[in-house]
């Protein structure tokens, strides 16, 4: 009798504390278990019949099943397990975590689990979607053949993106990634922008929303936030939440821009959970599950039969090392990469895009021949100037020996002027192409 009373009280407490969470499958009265081990990241529970990814209630919090064995399940709690005790009741919900989606999200800020940070509940009857979804059939995907202007000259002119393309922004910490994302938010022509901030400092969130984003950008954006202090499972799920919201708007026939800052912190959250669950470390100390997650997640974006999701993902690299395990894996999956140079940032050249090391793999599909020739000439001029840069700086460069090098030196100032851009500046694609032509041919 006492055991059934404990179960009833636990269920009542859980329902009262979790009524603000996105709709979950109802409790299964036949299934319950108990916590047998409490760790800083994971809980071990003796419970039968739960599946991988299933959500369970543990006291007054939620947890997700991340590993299942014959006699126990490992759960990652959605909040810190402070005060959690062995013997705590575990109640499975019978399904995965779902997030509410709909037009009401535009202009709002939600946490990594899809709950509005303003405290406003989701409208009654709104659609609920699980965070895991299937990848669009490759034979039903529309071909990428339309440019997507982002309002940044260096990208639109030399590294043109297409509607439905997936691009990585690779840079060291402090390289200007967040500022570049803010410029893209304000300059893009996408219908809806989904911005996911993973593992950011708490003070930076409001600063980014109020200072980096323009008012117009905020009005057509959905911002998903999971700061660095949040549990690993929430930081991990934040990217899935943002992708699920983007898929909803894509299914309405819209062109969606999904931006994630950063994919590295997503991978680190997966590493924290994977290692705690007993996975062996692989490349770069990341467990195999991290490398398995990346393609499944990234392939959910792109063109579909209806609508599209253009994905821009930032990746942290140390000392401009593009061969780190996560950076190398992401670059192999995406349709292009934009490299931000620490050297250019130190020269106050912003955005610090290194056009020689950057590449858009679909640019030839979304631009005309004249535009491609101008972009190729810009890269050639930049590369030739770098070959003679030291000689120019020390005053030893002799003109007349190499006409191509002479041209690169002559056009250096104009090309740098084109590649530089202040935060508040916006340029149409036609204006960008005209300015590019003036910079490389005049």
DSSP output for 373-442: HHHHHHHHHHHHHHHHHHHHHTT---TTS-HHHHHHHHHHHHHHHHH---TT----HHHHHHHHHHHHH-
Residues 6 or more apart whose CB falls under 8 angstroms from that of 292 comprise: none
pLDDT for 19 equals 45
322 backbone dihedrals φ, ψ, rounded to 5°: -80, 0
Burial class (CB in 10 A: 0-12, 13-18, 19+), 390: exposed
Q: What Cα–Cα distance (Å) separates residue 270 from each residue in 239, 288, 373?
A: 11, 10, 42
pLDDT for 210 equals 82
Looking at per-residue pLDDT, the higher value among 21 and 305 belongs to 305
374 backbone dihedrals φ, ψ, rounded to 5°: -65, -45
pLDDT tens sequence across 314-372? 999 876 677 789 999 999 999 999 999 988 888 889 999 999 999 999 999 999 999 99
The pTM for the full model equals: 0.88
pLDDT for 335 equals 92
Q: Pick the closest to residue 253 from 192, 301, 195, 308 (CA basis).
A: 308
What is the distance of C-alpha 29 from the center of its chain? Answer: 38
Q: How many helices (H) and strands (E) does the chain have?
A: 14, 17
Q: What Cα–Cα distance (Å) separates residue 268 from each residue in 96, 173, 286, 358?
A: 22, 15, 8, 25
Percent of the chain with pLDDT over 70: 92
Q: Is the Cβ–Cβ distance between 54 and 96 less than 8 Å?
A: yes
With bands split at pLDDT 50, 70 and 90, how would you rate the model's confidence at 283? confident
With bands split at pLDDT 50, 70 and 90, how would you rate the model's confidence at 26? low
Average pLDDT, the chain: 87
pLDDT for 7 equals 42
Q: Hey, what's the torsion of the CAs at 10, 11, 17, 20, to 10 degrees?
A: 160
pLDDT tens sequence across 37-47? 998 889 999 98
Whether 197 has a pLDDT exceeding 60, the answer reads yes
Q: Pick the closest to residue 234 from 376, 112, 336, 129 (CA basis).
A: 112
For the chain, helix, strand, coil in percent to 5 are 40, 20, 40
pLDDT for 320 equals 67
In 128-176, where does DSSP find H-type helix?
153-158
Q: What Cα–Cα distance (Å) separates residue 285 from each residue in 271, 318, 326?
A: 8, 15, 11
pLDDT for 398 equals 86
286-294's contacts with Cβ under 8 Å and 24+ in sequence apart are 286/325, 286/326, 290/326, 291/325, 291/329, 294/263, 294/267, 294/326, 294/329, 294/330, 294/333
Whether 20 has a pLDDT exceeding 70, the answer reads no
Q: What CA–CA distance (Å, rounded) separates 55 from 65?
A: 6
């Amino acid at each position: 009798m006492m055991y059934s009373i404990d179960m009833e009280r636990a269920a009542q407490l859980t329902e009262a504390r979790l009524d603000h969470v996105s709709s979950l499958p109802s409790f299964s009265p036949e299934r319950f278990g108990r916590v047998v081990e409490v760790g800083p990241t994971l809980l071990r529970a003796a419970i039968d019949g739960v599946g991988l990814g299933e959500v369970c209630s543990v006291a007054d919090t939620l947890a997700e099943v991340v590993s299942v064995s014959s006699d126990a399940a490992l759960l990652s709690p959605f909040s810190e397990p402070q005060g959690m005790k062995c013997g705590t009741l575990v109640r499975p919900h019978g399904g995965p975590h779902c997030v509410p989606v709909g037009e009401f999200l535009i202009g709002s800020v939600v946490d990594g689990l899809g709950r509005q940070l303003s405290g406003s509940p989701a409208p009654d009857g709104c659609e609920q979607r699980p965070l895991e979804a299937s990848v669009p059939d490759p034979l039903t995907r529309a071909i990428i053949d339309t440019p997507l202007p982002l309002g940044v000259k260096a990208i639109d002119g030399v590294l043109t993106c297409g509607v439905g393309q997936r691009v990585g922004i690779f840079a060291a910490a402090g390289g200007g990634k967040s500022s570049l994302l803010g410029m893209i938010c304000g300059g893009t022509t996408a219908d809806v922008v989904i911005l996911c901030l993973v593992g950011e400092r708490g003070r930076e969130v409001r600063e980014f929303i109020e200072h980096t984003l323009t008012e117009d950008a905020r009005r057509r954006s959905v911002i998903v936030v999971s700061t660095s202090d949040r549990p690993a499972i929430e930081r991990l799920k934040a990217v899935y939440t943002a992708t699920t919201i983007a898929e909803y708007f894509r299914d309405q026939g819209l062109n969606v821009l999904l931006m994630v800052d950063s994919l590295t912190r997503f991978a680190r959250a997966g590493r924290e959970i994977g290692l705690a669950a007993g996975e062996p470390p692989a490349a770069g100390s990341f467990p195999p599950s991290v490398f398995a997650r990346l393609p499944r997640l990234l392939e959910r974006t792109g063109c579909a039969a209806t609508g599209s999701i253009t994905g821009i993902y930032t990746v942290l690299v140390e000392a401009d090392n593009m061969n780190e395990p996560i950076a190398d894996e992401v670059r192999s999956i995406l349709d292009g990469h934009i490299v931000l140079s620490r050297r250019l940032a130190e020269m106050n050249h912003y955005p610090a895009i290194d056009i020689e090391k950057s590449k858009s793999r679909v640019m030839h599909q979304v631009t005309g021949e004249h535009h491609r020739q101008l972009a190729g000439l810009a890269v050639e001029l930049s590369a030739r100037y770098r070959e003679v840069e030291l000689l120019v700086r020390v005053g030893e460069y002799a003109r007349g020996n190499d006409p191509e090098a002479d041209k690169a030196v002559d056009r250096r100032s104009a090309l740098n002027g084109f590649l530089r851009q202040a935060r508040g500046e916006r340029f149409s694609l036609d204006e960008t192409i005209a300015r590019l032509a003036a910079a490389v041919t005049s």
